[in-house]
Structure 1
């Protein structure tokens, strides 16, 4: 498309493959571009976090609300992709997100998201992420695994 003296370039989401879409999403997060973040997801997107029972996201509107809240509460929020891998229309992204809470404490969120892509948008996700915390070392982790949370 062209107008007089000015080239108009379109950036249709549907033209992105899985890796490009993952990079576009992470970039939009760091730029706090809520429209671009939401546009990476299908209208009927659904995800689950298998390690956190009951935590699901249903639809692009919920994605928008969640990231809108993060942008409002963490004004310096940044995201970065550490690694990506693809298999057909599926992309694995190891990533981290971090920022400063209003009380001055650091929020760090890390892990892997596995997204299925259809028509250039994320349509399903399996989310393996968690807040970074001091866990007490490997012995404490093995204790939690063998004895339970009260370990």
Structure 2
């Protein structure tokens, strides 16, 4: 018999992925506690609220026309879970992106994510996609997208202007 916490955690991750697929920022961040700590080590994000997470992902949503996160595997404990996933998508330029990652969620007693530790494996990001996203394709681990770093850089402004409808 499956533990109740596993079913809840899988549902939380599914809702998160559904938000990505629908380009629905509110649904995507609804899994997080208001004071969530969100860390993404590859892009050097260190965020401290649901609103900060929404702001950061707004830029990713603006850069992509189609995207999805697919759960590959997961392990579960009563207050935490680890998810292995694959991100696929298409940038507005037509470039396809496809890379794996891992999410470590810590849950509140109410089932919201209070801490999310992420690792995106951008070594598999195609060179053209890296250029479209403002990455240095020669060093995908050590460099990061200006819009991802702080959401306020000139690259962020150019990206938003380029894809604003």
TM-score where L is the length of structure 2: 0.64
- Kindly indicate whether residue 57 of structure 2 is the aligned counterpart of residue 57 of structure 1: no
User: Pick from 37, 40, 58: which aligns with 2:31?
Assistant: 40
Single out whichever of 93-102 and 125-134 deviates more from structure 2: 125-134
Instruction: Report matched runs for 1:16-27 at 5 Å.
Output: 17-27=8-18
Q: Which residue among 81, 86, 93 is the counterpart of 2:71?
A: 81
Unaligned runs of 5+ in 2: 1-6, 127-141, 143-165
The equivalences for 1:2-151 within 5 A come to 17-50=8-41, 52=42, 54-118=44-108, 119-131=110-122, 132-133=124-125
Alpha carbons of structure 1 residues 63 and 86: separation in structure 2 relative to 1, 3 Å:
same
Question: 5+ unaligned residues in a row in structure 1: which ranges?
Answer: 1-15, 135-148
* Greater fraction helix: 2
How many residues align? The count is 120
Larger Rg computed on CA atoms: 1
CA contact (8 A) 1:19 1:86 kept: no
TM-score (norm 1): 0.69
Higher strand share: 1
TM-fit CA distance, 1:54:
4.3
Structure 2 CA distance, aligned partners of 1:97 and 1:126? Answer: 16
**Which position in structure 1 is the counterpart of 2:150?**
none
SS in 1 for 2:16: helix
